[in-house]
Amino acid sequence: MRIWLNGELRDADAAKVSVLDHGLTVGDGLFETLKAKDGSVFALTRHLDRLTRSARGLGLPDPDHDEVRRACAAVLEANPMPLGRLRITYTGGESPLGSERGKTGPTLVVAVGETTRRPDTTAVITVPWVRNERSPLTGLKTTSYAENVVALARANAAGASESLFANTVGQLCEGTGSNVFVVLDGELHTPPLASGCLAGITRALVVEWTGAKETDLPFDVLDRADEVFLTSTLRDVQAVHSVDGRLVTTAPGPVTAKAMRIFDERAGSDLDP
Ligand SMILES: Cc1ncc(COP(=O)(O)O)c(C=O)c1O
């Protein structure tokens, strides 16, 4: 495995960052997860734009898009695989031991790991913890992800692949690493960004391509939705067949099946939509 670290490709065991890196000590970092099929990255421009938005939100310098593009290409060329999870990590760099950031400048890592296509349907659970739609980190894809680690472990222990959160005012928000859509009376809805969810790239494409509405939804909409699906870079559109062990009628239902079809067609015909 060859990994890009701060300007060059290195063997995995030589790609080392400082133990004082602010990403490690306080979670002061950002990331992007991209899908790479046969060495080609999907939606790279949107991912780079979100990385820049996240960097500005954390007060980190804008990442150099040319360098990140070169890094992605180099990593993919050095590690050929049919389906890869390409990961960009960009942190505050070597820093003092507190929350204050040091002056050495950011750390940039690009790595890839092999993955397999997700199943078409999955089980989810709800969790009692909330997303904070008023946090300074809302909408930023930071490496401060331990809440998601805990919530995903709970899902896995229950035989599910995702946990869904409400926000602080009891509205449906998102999953640990996915956005959520529901079908009500034949219409497709997803929570608005003001709910505190991440501006998922798959979410944005599904909204654009299907005309799904962005709607404030109470968390218990999950009890009565006709269909539920998740979106994320590695799930694409994935139907939900059960919520907290309760079966959702037919998964994928007709609206979900149509969204899956549209997504596959549109994404298949444009690598960088
Ligand atoms: C918290 C969270 N919400 C939503 C998503 C989905 O975003 P995308 O479609 O850009 O992968 C992710 C991505 O991993 C995420 O971490």
Task: Give the tens place of pLDDT for each residue, 192-208.
Answer: 999 999 999 999 999 99
Residues in the chain: 273
| pLDDT band at 249; cut points 50, 70, 90 | confident
163 CB less than 6 Å from ligand 1? Answer: no
The pLDDT of residue 250 is: 80
| pLDDT score of 248 | 87
Query: With 80 as the cut, is the pLDDT of residue 1 above it?
Result: yes
Asked if the model's pLDDT at residue 138 lies above 80, the reply is yes
Q: How confident is the model at residue 162 (pLDDT cuts 50, 70, 90)?
A: very high
Q: Which two tokens stand for residue 57?
A: 């939100």
Quick one: which atom of ligand 1 is closest to the CA of 179? 4
Output the CA 198–ligand 1 centroid distance in Å: 6
Question: CB of 202 closer than 6 A to ligand 1?
Answer: yes
Cβ distance 217 to 189 under 8 Å? yes
pLDDT tens figures, 163-175:
999 999 999 999 9
Nearest residue (by CA) to ligand 1, atom 4, is: 178
Atom of ligand 1 nearest to the CA of 202: 9
Distance from the alpha carbon of residue 19 to the mean position of ligand 1, in angstroms: 27
Mean of the per-residue pLDDT values of the chain: 97
Q: Would you place residue 242 in the very low, low, confident or very high pLDDT band (cuts 50, 70, 90)?
A: very high
Which of 34, 35, 141 to mutate for ligand 1's pocket (most ligand atoms within 8 Å of CB)? 141
Q: Is the CB of 161 under 6 A from ligand 1?
A: no
pLDDT band at 45 (very low <50, low <70, confident <90, very high): very high
Q: What is the pTM of this model?
A: 0.97
Residue percentage of the chain with pLDDT more than 90:
98
Angle at 141 between CA 140 and CA 145, to 5 degrees: 115
Strand 83-91: give its sheet, edge to edge: 8-11, 2-5, 107-114, 83-91, 29-37, 40-41
Q: What is the pLDDT of residue 65?
A: 98
